[in-house]
Amino acid sequence: MKQLKVLYGITGIALGLLVAFLVFGNTAANDTANSDATNKSNAEKVYVAPGELDDYYMMASGGHSGQLFVYGLPSMRLIRQVPVFSPDPATGYGFEEESKEMLGGYKWGDFHHPAISETEGDYDGRALFATDVGNNRAAYVDLETFETTDIKEIPNVSGPHCAAFVTPNSEYFFAPTRFSVPIGGEYADLDEYSDTYKGVMTALKPDFKNNQIDVAFQVMLPPWSYDLSDAGKNKSDGWGFLSTYNTEEATTTLEINASQNDRDYIVMFNWEEMAKEVEKGNYTEVNGVKMFDPEENSGSIYLVPAPKSPHGVDVTPDGDYFVANGKLSPTTSVFSVEKAKEAIKNEDFQGEAQGLPVLNYDSVIDKEIEVGLGPLHTQFDDKGNAYTGLFIDSQVVKWNLDSGKVIDKTEISYSSGHLAAVGGDTTNPGGEWLVSLNKISKDQYLSVGPSHPESMDLIDISGEKMELVANTPSQPEPHYAQIIDADKIETTEVAEKDTDRENAVWSTDDAHIEREGDELHVYGVALRSRFVFDAESDRPDVVEAKEGDTVYFHITNIDQDEDITHGFGINGYNENFEIQPGYTKTLKVEVDESGTFPIYCTNFCSALHQEMTGYLLVEPK
């Protein structure tokens, strides 16, 4: 009997374990397996093995950091921070003389929208253009070196937010303004706003030979706020499109007063015609700039009614349509370029605003897509689909350009501000990746205190359904980005030895110091692993100055190996800069106190990096 009870007990336990296994064990295992498979699949999509390179560059604006952030896709690795509108102590941008002069004393910039140069409507990888909303500047970034080579202040404007957009062959990049001010920047009472204040769009001309930009002409616009823009392409080549809000012309409490009209406008303008008119002399010169007034030269600007406070306006890859996103409307509006041209030809106007003709909405609209709440910006793929980010719904919606049918929606974290697809602004978009640059993302990462990192979501758009596969923190503050095939960018990694370069010294034997009154010019070299300031001195790595001198350090990095960057820091003098292989940089130092100041290489350069030092000795008066 006792043996029978034991047998029953063992049998009962075995059955219990079997049931538990069947009910719980197998399901849990399947869940784990499925979860592992999903994670592995997503991980594989974005994994770039050590030694291998990403397929794409993503050039992302750094907002009020004033910097350009360069990411690799699909890994989403931050590759480089390129200083543009603000100083960078790591590289010495804004410390050494050339970049300090280029920055013009500004401590910060507000870089919103990068634009890569184009040829036949496609990114060509030569340059990137940027505008500074905070201090009214434009910049040229050379993509051969990923260096800012020119910055220009733009007169007569206030806040070039609605930029930069590039014409199909980089004839111009345009920079319309967010804020309206009196032309010339003079004082004017806000009661005179509608008559005296103006928006201004600047046409900047790239000089690819010298890596520079210049203001070609400006266009006077009504006193509204201009938000985003795009250039026409193919059938719409020669035209440009701007979104605008505050057509109410409110001067205070804009969150209420600038949201009264059910429709604002897309400004449709013929930039080729404007350029010809300016060439004929149809302009007024304002602060040294040719100012074109479309009210006095009709036929180049038309207004298209668009849903409440539109943010993005994006031209489809074939150039047949422009898509407006009314941020206070649940719809995205698709307008036909052909219908718009026909309405212009037939003078099919429903009225005018600020002296400009308003096209009949019903004559120009092609379709309205009910996408969801808070549509801001639209990108495209190579299969005839569009992708619109929804700020309020925190989603990206995929819809078909021909049918207008919504195909899919995916959640993002959170509040999509801008979207960037591979080639998304060109005639030749890709179809693999879409990045949502999010605005309010407060719980995605380990806490680093009150200042929360923003985020970017990487979405696989290669299939019928979108799939969110990765998420990465972004530096403040993500606005817009453009994604270009890595093969289109050809970099130079070591500067050629230029024996004619001003202030350069290419041999340790030629390093020397010259005194010109109270100026001391040090023509030195940096090489692995020492500085040579004066070849004939018993201590060639020492500079002796007198209190009150101005010392110019002209330092050439004569190493020609691509991985030998040298730094130059003066202990206690708040100065530092980098010198890349083959470069010559100049640092100006006012030595206004006597003392002993060590000099050292701040960028690790070799096993004897610690030994790469010298002294600045300042003798008292």
pLDDT for the residue numbered 451? 86
Residue pLDDT, tens place only, 447-501: 888 888 889 999 999 999 999 999 999 888 878 999 999 999 999 988 888 999 9
Instruction: Give CA torsion, residues 354, 359, 365, 366, to 10 deg.
Output: -140
Distance CA 269, CA 5 (A): 94
Helices (H) and strands (E) in the chain, counts: 8, 43
Distance CA 30, CA 17 (A): 18
pLDDT for the residue numbered 561? 85
487: amino acid identity, one letter: D
Distance CA 328, CA 376 (A): 9
pLDDT for the residue numbered 440? 81
Instruction: Give CA torsion, residues 148, 153, 159, 161, to 10 deg.
Output: -40
Token readout for 314 is 């994006």
pLDDT for the residue numbered 26? 44
Going from the N-terminus, what domains does the chain have, and what CATH number goes with each?
112-418 (2.130.10.10), 512-619 (2.60.40.420)
Q: Counting Cβ atoms within 10 Å, is residue 585 exposed (0-12), middle (13-18) or buried (19+)?
A: buried
pLDDT for the residue numbered 427? 97
Distance CA 19, CA 465 (A): 38
Residue 320 Cα distances to 49, 164, 336, angstroms:
41, 21, 6
Below-50 pLDDT ranges, the chain: 1-7, 16-35, 37
Residue pLDDT, tens place only, 429-441: 999 999 999 988 7
Three-class DSSP category at 77: strand
Distance CA 124, CA 603 (A): 33
User: Pairing mode, if any, of strands 289-292 and 212-221?
Assistant: parallel
Q: Which of 10, 111, 104 is nearest to 65 (CA)?
A: 111
Inter-residue contact 188 to 259 (CB < 8 Å): no
Q: Which of 450, 323, 468 is nearest to 394 (CA)?
A: 468
Distance CA 138, CA 85 (A): 9
Distance CA 86, CA 139 (A): 12
Token readout for 596 is 């002993």
Three-class DSSP category at 231: strand
CB atoms within 10 A of CB 262: 11
Three-class DSSP category at 122: strand
CB atoms within 10 A of CB 469: 19
Residue pLDDT, tens place only, 527-575: 999 999 999 999 999 999 999 999 999 999 999 888 899 999 999 999 9
Residue 386 Cα distances to 148, 200, 482, 580, angstroms:
33, 30, 16, 43
Residue 223 Cα distances to 131, 137, 200, 496, angstroms:
20, 20, 9, 50
Distance CA 149, CA 200 (A): 25
Contacts for 18 with CB less than 8 Å, ≥ 6 apart: none
Distance CA 531, CA 616 (A): 12
586: amino acid identity, one letter: T
pLDDT for the residue numbered 16? 47
Inter-residue contact 110 to 84 (CB < 8 Å): no
pLDDT for the residue numbered 39? 57
